[in-house]
């Protein structure tokens, strides 16, 4: 058995918030697959079903985000599960909208819901982070996460949630790369973080070919090797060379 928990805040006031994308993801799973009706238990709304031949418990904690771990920890202990049996789905400020990342364990990144899960369940659970973008300044973060998605966000949000629900079997089976690729194809967002463009190292100067000119010599115009044969200059050169030969 596995628990898939979506993080968010309960009530219609928060339903459209960016912070509630975890709830939205679990709702999409519930709509797309044969789960039972939502019921109340473990301080949460829960629904039972099956994915990839495995029993799944969907959980939406009703304790508010900051104490989500109380609900999930209670369900985990009731079913005698371990952190490895939990998949948490939540919003990530440091990912661009439409991006997704999936890993086991790690830090909380300042996310209060994850802090609570870490405290009540341990840290070694799988974490599906869904990008909501960063507003660009720390003082704007609270209003951003507790603000509703804009209408324009539907262009990536709906395909993301649909792809997540359609490919949930891959998520449950632990086929993380395939799962993330499906989400990336659906949203047009890269499945992996962008790598900064690295400037190409300057090409090493080519060595002059044997018998050829150096790059410095090549840059100089060829000077005709002509010596005067008559006149005062010719006489001076003759005297110079004759002295050299005498030595």
Catalytic residues: 19
| Rounded Cα gap, residues 104 and 125, in angstroms | 5
Q: Which of 75, 77, 109, 74 lies closest to 90, judged by CA? A: 109
Cα 185 to Cα 152: distance, rounded to the nearest angstrom: 19
The beta-strand segments (E) located in 117-192 are 126-131
Which residue in this structure is represented by tokens 């720390």? 138
What is the Cα–Cα distance from 112 to 95, expressed in whole angstroms? 17
CB 113 within 8 A of CB 7: yes
């Amino acid at each position: 058995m596995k628990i898939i928990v979506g993080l968010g805040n309960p009530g219609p006031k928060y339903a459209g918030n960016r912070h509630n994308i975890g709830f939205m993801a679990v709702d999409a799973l519930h709509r797309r697959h044969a789960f039972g009706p939502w019921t109340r238990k473990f301080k949460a709304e829960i629904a039972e079903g099956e994915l990839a031949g495995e029993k799944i418990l969907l959980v939406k904690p009703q304790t508010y985000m900051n104490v989500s771990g109380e609900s999930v920890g209670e369900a985990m202990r009731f079913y005698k599960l371990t952190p490895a049996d939990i998949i948490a789905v939540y919003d990530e400020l440091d990912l661009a909208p439409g991006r997704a990342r999936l890993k086991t364990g790690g830090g909380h990144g300042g996310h209060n819901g994850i802090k609570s899960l870490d405290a009540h369940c341990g840290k070694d659970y799988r974490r599906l982070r869904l990008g909501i973008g960063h507003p660009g300044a720390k003082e704007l973060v609270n209003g951003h996460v507790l603000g509703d998605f804009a209408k324009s966000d539907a262009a990536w949000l709906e395909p993301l949630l649909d792809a997540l629900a359609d490919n949930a079997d891959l998520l449950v089976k632990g086929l993380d790369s395939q799962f993330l690729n499906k989400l990336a194809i659906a949203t047009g967002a890269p499945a992996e973080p962008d790598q900064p463009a690295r400037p190409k190292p300057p090409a090493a100067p080519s060595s002059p070919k044997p018998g050829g000119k150096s790059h410095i010599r090549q840059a100089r115009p060829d000077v005709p090797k002509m010596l005067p044969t008559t006149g005062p200059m010719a006489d001076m050169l003759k005297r110079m060379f004759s002295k050299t030969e005498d030595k």
